[in-house]
Amino acid sequence: MSGGGLLVAGTTSDAGKSVVTAGICRWLVRQGVKVAPFKAQNMSLNSFVTREGAEIGRAQAMQAQACRVEPTALMNPVLLKPGGERSSQVVLMGRPVGEMSARGYHGGRQEQLLGTVLDCLERLRGTYDAVICEGAGSPAEINLRRTDIVNMGIARNAGLPVLVVGDIDRGGVFASFFGTVALLSSEDQKLVAGFLVNKFRGDVSLLEPGLEMLHGLTGRRTYGVLPFQHGLGIDEEDGLRVSLRGTVRESQVAAPVGEDVLRVAVCAVPLMSNFTDVDALAAEPGVVVRFVDRPEELADADLVVVPGTRGTVRALEWLRERGLADALRRRAAEGRPVLGICGGFQVLGEHIEDDVESRRGQVDGLGVLPVRVRFAREKTLTRPVGEALGETVEGYEIHHGVAEVLGGEAFLDGCRVGQTWGTHWHGSLESDAFRRAFLREVARAAGRRFVPAPDTSFAALREEQLDRLGDLIEQHADTDALWRLIESGAPTGLPFIPPGAPA
């Protein structure tokens, strides 16, 4: 017999679906429920490698952690990794199967994948007491409904009740809730059980008349009002959603242990991937992380990070166009710390031979590390363990570029020359002892009297954040009603709201 299920949809992208899904998962697992997350199709440059070597969305890996289970490819069978405005790499069951235009994908390929995603969902429901599914964008994208496999398409085929999340901080949440339901077909509307308000500020009693009116208009109740909370610090899915200039990554409020803070500047390269790598730095008291796109913003940085990217050659061109390439070369020559991760490591090398990603052939790199990179068609997907700076390090690799290291001092899979470091390993900074050792090196080279906190545990901080999400659901949602939805499905007799979906 299949376990229960729920689809968490949203009125818009970034309504809070990922966070709400994780919160429901953590609340359920604390009640002793065996639960798993699921997202049929994810579009994201933030990805993760499972223990079986499959690439999935980082948000689903975070949700699996909320469930206290090991993430697998079943939890995110289709991952789309944008490579430009109109095309994406399609990752199916954790393995890349090719590049495809949006027109090509929605023109037929997506429908072909419905059987695969339904099979994955059914396998999870056969193993777990409950599966909490996350939608994508809005279920009322009427131009995409025919080929939909992630919102109402999967809800209809799997008989899942749907909870619609709306971000009230944006304004217009009542219209968004009503309009979402009213643009669905009568069959789809039967599965939309109700609403969840996210990011509310103020006195809930002032909101209640509106919720009652919404119930009167739609026949659907609101299952909770979640308050706005700063600093949740949970992995994001679709990239930075605000202007990168001056953006500061959420950091610990605690004062530095030493006399100085440490300033980290992250080059906001195009198609930036796995920028979550710097979250472990931002978790350190006294470390300030910001994203930058101008050379003058590197001047006062103690460490510059060149992060991963889905477009290495494009990132190189961007760095040169903005004058950041010259600034990075100067830093390297002056012995000021620079860390390149994955694509960022590749751009620091001597040259790149790319007939796969950009198809630009041989391109000169920045030449600050003795490394030559050749792009292979097969993608490297591994979970390596090693040692650096006398400490054990764990990470994960997601890249087509194969690096030939021709000199320097060994550093994980890459190398170090002076204070310029390069590696393909994502997630290495989450290893606490290594991160502290690395920051001590950076502080020494930068002349800062910065001291890493001796007891910062990134894993423990992540657990605390997930518990905060569980608390949000437990304290501000009608959990009894939520469990009835998960166990028994959408209520019967929900009214149809005209006009419904266009023919």
Report the distance separating Cα 488 and Cα 480, nearest Å. Answer: 12
Radius of gyration in angstroms for the set of CA atoms belonging to the chain, rounded to a whole number? 23
Give how far Cα 468 sits from Cα of 16, 252, 474, Å: 14, 16, 10
Report the distance separating Cα 357 and Cα 378, nearest Å. Answer: 11
pLDDT confidence bin for 234, thresholds 50/70/90: low
pLDDT confidence bin for 247, thresholds 50/70/90: very low
| pLDDT in the model for residue 239 | 44
Listed residue (23, 52, 18) closest to 38, CA to CA? 18
pLDDT confidence bin for 251, thresholds 50/70/90: low
pLDDT higher than threshold 60 for residue 199: yes
| pLDDT in the model for residue 241 | 39
Under DSSP, is residue 129 helix (H, G, I), strand (E, B) or coil?
Answer: coil
| pLDDT in the model for residue 253 | 53
Full 3-state SS string of 437-483: HHHHHHHHHHCCCCCCCCCCCHHHHHHHHHHHHHHHHHHHECHHHHH
pLDDT higher than threshold 90 for residue 275: no
Report the distance separating Cα 76 and Cα 121, nearest Å. Answer: 9
pLDDT higher than threshold 90 for residue 233: no
Catalytic (active site) residue 415:
no
| pLDDT in the model for residue 250 | 53
Q: What is the pLDDT of residues 337-385, one digit of tens each?
A: 999 999 999 999 999 999 988 888 899 999 999 999 999 999 999 999 9
Q: Which of 267, 342, 399, 424 is catalytic?
A: 342
| pLDDT in the model for residue 249 | 53
pLDDT confidence bin for 2, thresholds 50/70/90: confident
Q: What is the pLDDT of residues 156-181, one digit of tens each?
A: 999 999 999 999 999 999 999 999 99
Report the distance separating Cα 360 and Cα 257, nearest Å. Answer: 47
Q: What is the DSSP string of 367-396?
A: -SSSEEEEEEEEEEEE--EEEETTEEEE-B
| pLDDT in the model for residue 289 | 92
pLDDT confidence bin for 503, thresholds 50/70/90: confident
Report the distance separating Cα 47 and Cα 231, nearest Å. Answer: 21
250 or 395: which leads in pLDDT: 395
pLDDT higher than threshold 90 for residue 243: no
Which helix (H) or strand (E) segment holds residue 87: the answer is: strand 87-92
Catalytic (active site) residue 106:
no
Q: What is the pLDDT of residues 418-457, one digit of tens each?
A: 999 999 999 999 999 999 999 999 999 999 999 999 999 9
Strand-strand pairing, 4-10 and 130-134: parallel
Omega cis (within 30) before 499: yes
| pLDDT in the model for residue 244 | 37
| pLDDT in the model for residue 87 | 81
pLDDT confidence bin for 150, thresholds 50/70/90: very high
Which helix (H) or strand (E) segment holds residue 281: the answer is: helix 279-282
Angle between helices 17-30 and 458-476 (to 10 degrees): 90
Q: What is the pLDDT of residues 19-77, one digit of tens each?
A: 999 999 999 999 999 999 999 999 988 899 999 999 999 999 999 999 999 999 999 99
Q: What is the pLDDT of residues 281-320, one digit of tens each?
A: 999 999 999 999 999 999 999 999 999 999 999 999 999 9
Give 3-state DSSP helix, strand, coil % of the chain, rounded to 5: 35, 30, 35
Report the distance separating Cα 175 and Cα 186, nearest Å. Answer: 19
Q: Which of 399, 400, 426, 476 is catalytic?
A: 426
Q: What is the pLDDT of residues 71-128, one digit of tens each?
A: 999 999 999 998 876 788 999 999 998 887 766 666 667 778 999 999 999 999 999 9
